[in-house]
Structure 1
Amino acid sequence: MGVSGRLRSVGLGLATALLVVSTGPPAAAMPGRVDPLRRYVEAVHRTGVVGVAAEVTSPHSRERARAGAARRGTALPMPQNGRFRIGSATKTFTAAVMLQLVGEGRLSLDDTVEKWLPGVVRKDGRRVTVRQLLQHTSGIPDVLPRIPALNSAAGYRAERSRSYTPGELVRLALGQPPAAAAERAWSYSNTNYVLAAMIIHRVTGRSWAQEVTRRVIRPLDLRQTSVPGASASVPGPHARSYSTFGTGTAIDVTVLDPSMAVGSGSLVSTTRDLSRFYGALLRGRLLGPAQLDEMTTTVSAPEMGLPGVKYGLGLGELPLPCGGTYFGHPGELLGYRSWSGVTADGARTAVVYATSDGGQGTRQAMSALVGEELCGSRR
């Protein structure tokens, strides 16, 4: 999920994406200016994923393309506007809620974790701030290596329906050595956003799920976006997801209790809703100017493995192949991979998701699609 170990091979080179040998049928696409988007979608599919779908929006157009199958071994096409687990793109939603609370004066980015969650992070809670949680500079270890369902086929079969509480996740994470010293190193940790969800609950008296729904999902009319809680199914039309767990043999992993990713990666959405969300966010519909400036003020994020990539508060800043940068976030939760990007003015968005682990070039091809399509109006 997100930009931890599995994202270290991410790259932006379109050439890499297009050198892969074709392994599947051609893409189907919606009418419009589809040829470039179709080529990029086919490039993603050729890296070995079962299915892929993408959407690109601008002020006067929306283009979609898809390739592959919704279910492995069949000719069933990828669903139009199908739902999928968006993984770490969830972090942008969580950060937006936190920054709304900052704008309302209900908490400060400089508040410590200890102030809101006394004793939860032991002695480190006194030095780690809300800003460091959202920025991934807290040094708090990542909980995901401690979740059996995400790390082996046997673990998945045994614990795919297991539910976790946020407090249990934090205790599991703190059983590991610290990842990095705060204020000195950037180190991606999903535990940061589990703690952010807990702080949201403490500040508002309502759960993270309730707050993200009433503050983001409903105001933006994101009708296909939902907080699944402990539900192990993906609601509505969706493609199946698959993972090899590094063994080379893929299994269906669509059924999964996502409670291990509360605040950090559990949301379900669509390419259309993610396009609407990221566009609205960068246009200032969710945050005031001061809070949006905080979100888009970035630090170097070398762990992502991309030259020049930076990270703000729940939002990455990535190089564009045509020059300049864009904002967005990758996402991954067991067999669903996504990449969302938006221009700095919020005018153009590109979102792609794929099912299954794919191959070495999958992330490169997805990031190339987003970067090239966001450059579309500038070429």
Structure 2
Amino acid sequence: MPPPRTPRTLLAIPLSLVLLGLAPAASQGPTGQGSATQGPAAPAAAASPAAAAMDAALALLVTRGKAPAASLLARDASGSRFADAGTGMARSDHFRAGSITKTFIATVVLQLAAEHRLSLSDSVDDHLPGLVRGEGNDGRRLTLRALLTHTSGLYDFTADTKGTVPLTPLQAVRIALTHPPADRGRFAYSNTNYVLLGMVVEQVTGHSYAIEAERRIITPLRLTGTSFPGARTSLPSPHGRAYAADGSDATELDPRVAGAAGELISTLADLDRFYAALLGGDLLPSRWMREMLNTRAAHGSYGMGLFPVKLPCGTTVWGHNGRITGSYVRTAATVDGRRVLTFRVNTDGVTDPDLEPALLAAEFCPRTS
């Protein structure tokens, strides 16, 4: 799982120009683009400018982004809107959510902090004594806060495994420890951080991170399509096919290639519901929600399991992306959780990096006429 592109303030391109660039592609050939509707299909003429912009941006994930299929689910006070493009993807499909797992893990850790079962200033050694040693790495000098914010300097084990080798958490950490650390205190995205956090959760609670996330998040929110598969290589039904960057079928995958850094399976509706609940204050006390959104440690790049992106209209959205072989997912939401968008493609990523910002802008900076 390569790290997400470092979040940054987007160029202030007027949305009208974005639409001009998207509209022609939206009408090309048989893309299979579905109309974005709430409930039964609505006539095309009834679509709002914002809906049309979002549909057009989604279609480009297939035509210009080279994804076999793409879909999205947007949620706000008026209900939800689903759209799809390409073929072989349904609203209810299960898919691998990759690094969106990190938001779940961070939420569990912050809940434990709120319960005074751990402190963010605890060292890694306080919970996993002697584990992080070697090549200049020292768990006595690393805090849980540094793991949550990706400022530990620990090497990303997936840089060696390319996200294709199933590992135990201990094996993943040991691979990372064969490399010297980067500068502590500097933001450097590393999946090793969240593998260690998964181990800390188990040490503190006596249960795996999966059991704790299920008990604390999945069950209370009724996320019926969300699961931590462990070593199970198949996806729950219903699901479509997933494709690696070279076009090979990657539907079957051992989730231990990612573990606590990217194991999660979910659905569009569940991810929308989770981020709405989290940012809406349903999962963390306000003090700990502020901690989660505090990007000071990572110099504005990352909070704790969430990162911000400032859109051209001035709105800042919060969320995470997830990339794992055969799947790319992105969830973004307003800071109050009242408006959420999740989109996915059934391949490793989007070849044109401008398409994701255009899709976020189409949803969160809508035209009114």
Amino acid at match of 2:79: S
**Equivalent in the alignment of 1:275:** 272
Do 1:233 and 1:254's aligned partners in 2 also have CA atoms closer than 8 Å? yes
Deviations 1:180-230 (A, max 9, x none): 2112x1000000000000000000000011001101111111010011100
- Distance change (3 Å), C-alpha of 1:317 and 1:148: closer
**Equivalent in the alignment of 2:59:** 42
Deviations 1:298-350 (A, max 9, x none): 14868xxxxxx621011001112211311111110112001100101110001
Deviations 1:80-111 (A, max 9, x none): 22111111111000000000000000000000
**Equivalent in the alignment of 1:28:** 34
> Partners of 1:126 and 1:57 in 2: how far apart?
43
Which of residues 311, 314, 317 in structure 1 aligns to 2:302? 311
**Equivalent in the alignment of 2:44:** none
Deviations 1:276-312 (A, max 9, x none): 000100111000011000000114868xxxxxx6210
> Partners of 1:23 and 1:196 in 2: how far apart?
47
Which of residues 172, 180, 183 in structure 1 aligns to 2:175? 172
Do 1:18 and 1:365's aligned partners in 2 also have CA atoms closer than 8 Å? no
Superposition TM-score, scaled by structure 2 size: 0.87
Deviation at 1:9, TM superposition (A): 10
Amino acid at match of 1:277: F
Matched, 1:18 2:22: yes
Equivalent residue pairs, number: 346
Matched, 1:144 2:158: yes
> Partners of 1:190 and 1:199 in 2: how far apart?
15
> Partners of 2:301 and 2:323 in 1: how far apart?
19
Percent same amino acid at aligned positions? Answer: 39
> Partners of 1:355 and 1:299 in 2: how far apart?
34
**Equivalent in the alignment of 2:207:** 206
> Partners of 1:110 and 1:194 in 2: how far apart?
18
**Equivalent in the alignment of 1:286:** 283
Which of residues 313, 316, 322 in structure 2 aligns to 1:325? 316
Do 2:7 and 2:307's aligned partners in 1 also have CA atoms closer than 8 Å? no
**Equivalent in the alignment of 1:197:** 198
- Distance change (3 Å), C-alpha of 1:42 and 1:301: farther
Matched, 1:376 2:366: yes
Higher mean alpha-carbon deviation, 49-58 vs 292-301, is at: 292-301
Do 1:12 and 1:368's aligned partners in 2 also have CA atoms closer than 8 Å? no
Deviation at 1:268, TM superposition (A): 0.4
Do 2:199 and 2:209's aligned partners in 1 also have CA atoms closer than 8 Å? yes
**Equivalent in the alignment of 2:123:** 112
Amino acid at match of 2:183: A
> Partners of 1:186 and 1:20 in 2: how far apart?
39
**Equivalent in the alignment of 1:181:** 183
Deviations 1:219-278 (A, max 9, x none): 11101001110011111112211123xxxx421111110113121111000111000000
Gaps of 5+ in 2: 39-46
Which of residues 126, 141, 144 in structure 1 aligns to 2:140? 126
Deviation at 1:176, TM superposition (A): 2.1
**Equivalent in the alignment of 1:156:** none
> Partners of 1:301 and 1:251 in 2: how far apart?
36
Deviation at 1:36, TM superposition (A): 3.0
Superposition TM-score, scaled by structure 1 size: 0.85
Deviation at 1:358, TM superposition (A): 5.3
Do 1:321 and 1:371's aligned partners in 2 also have CA atoms closer than 8 Å? yes
- Distance change (3 Å), C-alpha of 1:192 and 1:268: same
**Equivalent in the alignment of 2:77:** 59
Amino acid at match of 1:174: L
Gaps of 5+ in 1: 71-77, 151-158, 303-308
Deviations 1:135-155 (A, max 9, x none): 0000000011222563xxxxx
